[in-house]
Chains A and B, each alone.
Chain A
Amino acid sequence: DVKVTQSSRYLVKRTGEKVFLECVQDMDHENMFWYRQDPGLGLRLIYFSYDVKMKEKGDIPEGYSVSREKKERFSLILESASTNQTSMYLCASSLLFLGEQYFGPGTRLTVT
Chain B
Amino acid sequence: EDKVVQSPLSLVVHEGDTVTLNCSYEVTNFRSLLWYKQEKKAPTFLFMLTSSGIEKKSGRLSSILDKKELFSILNITATQTGDSAVYLCAVGSGTYKYIFGTGTRLKVLA
Contacts and interface: CB of A to CB of B under 8 A. Distances in A.
A108 B103 CA distance: 19
Interface in B40-55: 41-45, 48
Contact of A50 (B32, B92, B96): B96
Contact of A42 (B48, B97, B101): B101
A106 B38 CA distance: 11
A42 B103 contact: yes
**Chain B residues touching A, majority SS:** strand
Given A105-B41, A105-B42, A98 B98 contact: yes
Contacts of B44: 103
B45 A100 contact: yes
A40 B86 CA distance: 12
Contacts of B88: 42-43
Q: How large is the interface on A (under 10, 10 to 19, 20 to 34, 35 or more residues)?
A: 20 to 34
Nearest to A2: B45
Contacts of B101: 42
A66 interface: no
B34 A100 contact: yes
A45 B98 contact: yes
B100 interface: yes
B42 A103 contact: yes
A59 B97 CA distance: 9
Contacts of A97: 95-96
- 3 nearest interchain CB pairs? A98-B92, A103-B42, A43-B100
Interface of A: 4, 35, 40-45, 48, 50, 56, 58-59, 90, 97-106
